[in-house]
A and B are shown apart, each in its own frame.
Chain A
Amino acid sequence: MGTIDFAPLWITLKTGIVASVFSFFIGIAFAELVINTKGRVRAFWDGLLTLPMVLPPTVAGYILLRIFSTRRPFGSFLSNSMGIQVVHTWLGCVVAATIIALPLMYRNARAAFEQIDENVIYAARTLGISEWKVFWKIRLPMAKPGIISGVTLAFARAIGEYGATSMLAGNIAGKTSTISQQIAMVIQSGDYATAGFWCIVIIAISFACLVSINMICGKSKGIKRKRKNNVAHSKNKKTVG
């Protein structure tokens, strides 16, 4: 096994954190967009945003490579005009992990927003509370448990990303070599001990994430219970008025 270089751990954690921050904002923004659209447009966006969850990561990686390659219009624009290189850089890790983790964030956020009793939002509007405040002070706090589990799942997914990352960012030691890529590499050279060590690290982090989701959601029971009430009430409403 020899001495272990911990660079892959830091790269993985950094990638995971930045990717979950990105998917947090992008996921919420798209959740809002989809909630406010109807019919075919809604189905289109929902399908597109969920696609990375079901596609083979290599397919996502291929598409990202085609978009960000410096030989293609968008990639060359980024690199020439803005000095941003995505392919074979750490940024590539982040982009790949964000895209793959996004559906988890988006779907959780959407479900959390959709569960909010619409009367609460109507009440807020009739009280003259601005849309900005309605979002930040009422809807977001009410959707908090769902959003937290979305971010945590997105983080857990992002740190385990392999397929798209290896295609877009490659496996450059100390730069883009994440734990999952490291595992694949050391196994090829027959170093099962090191591979096993990294596997345990990944399992430990992912498991900790899943356990913490449960604990956080347990704590905010109050909000969850309240929501169930609201659902019951809104059902009442339909039958009564």
Chain B
Amino acid sequence: MAEFRMPSLGADMEAGTVIEWKVKPGDHVKRGDIIAVVDTEKAAVEIEVFEDGIIEKILVETGMKVPVGTVLAIIRPEEVPAGPRDLRERVPEASGAPVTLSTPSSRPPHAPHPMDLHGLPARSVKAGAERVKVSPYARRLAAELSVDLTALGGTGPEGTIRAADVERAATGRTIAGKLPVPPAGEKVAGQVPPEARPVAGDRREGMRRAIAAAMSRSNREIPHYYVQTRIDMSGALRWLEAENQKRSIEQRLLPVVLPLKAVALALREVPELNAYWMDDRHRPQEAVNIGFAIALRGGGLIAPALLQVDIKSLDNLMEDLRDLITRTRAGRLRSSELTAATITVTHLGDLGVEMVFGVIYPPQVALVGFGKIMEQPWAERGMLAVRPVLTATLAADHRATDGRRGARFLDAVNDYLQEPAKL
């Protein structure tokens, strides 16, 4: 019997209100299905389920506000052979918190790896028709998350299952990595019982409180260091202009996708910035999920994740960005998007500021800031010219990395932006 709990959708969330159940007792659910809508102080969020099964019982009615970790529903497993199922029963659950990877702050500090104790994942791998290649980290993760490795397709070299594949399976994401797009024009307000709908003023206040809590914690706990560099964007902008001329208006790329992709690729070279700091330990993450700070009309901001930016084409990235911004502003985010970010990018280029030094969103260890691309004097090879210049900054957690690595990272971002065709 599995307990479906109120998830923690970020370091700043303490409680949530169930505003809609999309299932009823007796319904069959699959991993990744959206089964409820929960209102946090920041937004209404679609909550995904992390296992297959049948809804046995709903324990929290719509309209009720309950603390993170409260059991919302009981899910009975479908009749399936034992094995991974057994494993799940033995995974100790963090007290009062859901056991999902995508909730970094609630992961048990030193979860024993059932794999080491029982050797189960290894056995299930052998049981597959052919031998499956699995990275060691992916194997450990699969054990922690009770993901059946034999049922996974790997995206690594020679079909190797990487941690990212496991995470995707755990969060119900398809192998293609494409986000299912909700039907256009659907309005969240229509599905919310009026009594549960927070008034705009409450939302604004709640959001301010949530941001205040997360940012105060960040400033209190994280020893930030900052580095900055100026990037000549003339090559990148020329390339983008030529690209966009070939495209219909719907397919045009916004300039911001170039630095986003450059950040993702640079993180491969300085992977320690793509990480969490939890329980006094630095925990690098394999998937590059960039939290993109999106300002909301009427104030406040949310930084939902663009998933696996390093392996996406610019077109896919643009598509995902458009989808994410639209759903963020319409209040239709999914739980995994609020918890999956491994680093944050903030982009204030539209507002005419030259640079931004950010406050890191815990438990992440870095935040990259981009300002407006501005024409500036540029000295090169003894000559003075005017170039479009993008100022990139990095705020990073000094517990996790040192300034030298931060500098290396910004240098790599610059290098990638000098060769836009390779992004």
Q: Please determine whether chains A and B interact with each other in the same assembly.
A: no
Chain A contacts to B: CB under 8 angstroms: none
